[in-house]
Amino acid sequence: METRTRILSGIQPTGSPHLGNYFGAIKQHIELQKEGDCFYFIADYHALTTIKDGDALRQNTYEVAATYLAFGLDPATTTFFRQSDVPEVTELTWILSTVAGMGLLERAHSYKDKLAKKLSPMVGLFLYPILMASDILIYKSNLVPVGQDQIQHVEITRDIAGYFNNTFGETFPLPDYRMGVAPKVPGIDGAKMSKSYDNTIELSLAGKALRKKIMSIVTDSKTVEEPKSPDNCTVFILYSLMSTEAEKLALAERYQAGGMGYGDAKTLLLEKIEDKFADFRMRYAKIMADPEYVEESLRMGAMKARSLAAQTLTEVRSAVGFRA
């Protein structure tokens, strides 16, 4: 029997999905449904490291699920679930923590960033990469499609899988990562777009609220007459993600010629986003109004995911010496 590549990725329900999530991750997740056996989940255990409000967590989870379904995730063929519906993953996290070196985790960017900001990190934040390794390994995943910020976590996963295999015998395949068309989409302030930096353009925004966001994108202070450089301009970078080669060239020429203000470029970007995501927004609104469909999709996925996770865990328990 031919074995299909197992593709797995997760997204945290820490806020409404944004353009960075779409071009960095969701777009390729949807496309990859044609290429392999896909497992996509909502990482609510991970989100607990930042969200301490149950209602907000539930609402965000629902929005992320509706977003994937509206973009065309097919719950009949893709295993789509909530991370916390598979508690087996936390048992594997513990077991993996006994073969993962402190040094490996101390080098993790997400942890180092919090330390640099002088925040006092919780133990859960330190363990975050092991939980992620457990997510990936419990389904014996081969490929993990993510944005650039998650690559180090996949590398840590490979290290942990290697230690486990060396210690207890060959159990886990070593996963590879794959980046999408735009591994690091900038936010309205020019830094990486992220729910934690309050600089996002949410996919569900339209009309006035979207206009307000787009108009607040930070640019340099060149006058209308002055020639401008498209290369480092957030407006241009975002526009390029959604336009044809010819449209991109035409806008780059207007930047370089001078005589065009950033307001005009922002209006072009606004029209692009309205147009590109119009169908999505309609489907999203419909799905948001149908909680049963969302719930049923996640329930179906959880059953499939859980049975596979339980199989791996039985193998792992036996390998380490527990009563299998």
Contacts of 319 (CB under 8 A, 6+ apart): 168, 169, 171
Q: Is the four-CA dihedral 297, 299, 305, 307 of positive or negative sign?
A: negative
Backbone region of residue 192 per phi and psi (left: phi > 0; alpha: psi in -120 to 50; beta: other values):
beta
Of 8 and 265, nearer to ligand TRP (C-beta) is: 8
Which part of the chain contacts ligand ADP (CB under 6 A), choosing from 86-94, 158-166, 176-184, 291-299? Answer: 176-184
Write the binding mask 183 to 212 for ligand ADP: x where contact by CB under 6 A, - elsewhere: xxx------xxxxx----------------
Of 89 and 268, nearer to ligand TRP (C-beta) is: 89
For 225-245, give the DSSP string.
SS---STT-HHHHHHHHHS-H
- Nearest in space to 167 (alpha carbons), one of 95, 91, 104, 103: 95
Residue 200 found at the interface with ligand TRP (CB under 6 A): no
Task: Report the partner that residue 132 touches, choosing among ligand ADP, ligand TRP, none (CB closer than 5 to 8 A by kind).
Answer: ligand TRP
The residue from 25, 38, 92, 273 that contacts ligand ADP (CB under 6 A) is 25
Which segments of 169-233 does DSSP mark as H helices, in order?
207-215
* Tokens describing residue 37: 């056996």
Q: Which DSSP helix (H) or strand (E) runs through 82?
A: strand 79-82
The residue from 131, 146, 161, 238 that contacts ligand ADP (CB under 6 A) is 146
Of 15 and 301, nearer to ligand ADP (C-beta) is: 15
Residues 218/188, Cβ–Cβ less than 8 Å: yes
Distance CA 49, CA 185 (A): 24
What's the CA dihedral at 6, 9, 10, 15 to 10 degrees?
-150
**Residue 185 C-beta: closest distance to ligand ADP, Å:** 4
**Residue 319 C-beta: closest distance to ligand TRP, Å:** 22
Number of residues that bind ligand TRP (CB under 6 A): 14
The rounded Cα 287 to chain-centroid distance in angstroms is 20
Residue 146 found at the interface with ligand TRP (CB under 6 A): yes
Of 41 and 62, nearer to ligand TRP (C-beta) is: 41
Write down the residue that tokens 């990482």 correspond to. 43
* Tokens describing residue 196: 């934690």
Write the binding mask 31 to 70 for ligand TRP: x where contact by CB under 6 A, - elsewhere: ------------x--x------------------------
Instruction: List residues near ligand ADP by CB under 6 A.
Output: 11-12, 14, 20-21, 24-25, 146-147, 149-150, 182-185, 192-196
Note the residues at the interface with ligand TRP (CB under 6 A). Answer: 8-12, 43, 46, 132, 135-136, 144, 146, 150, 153
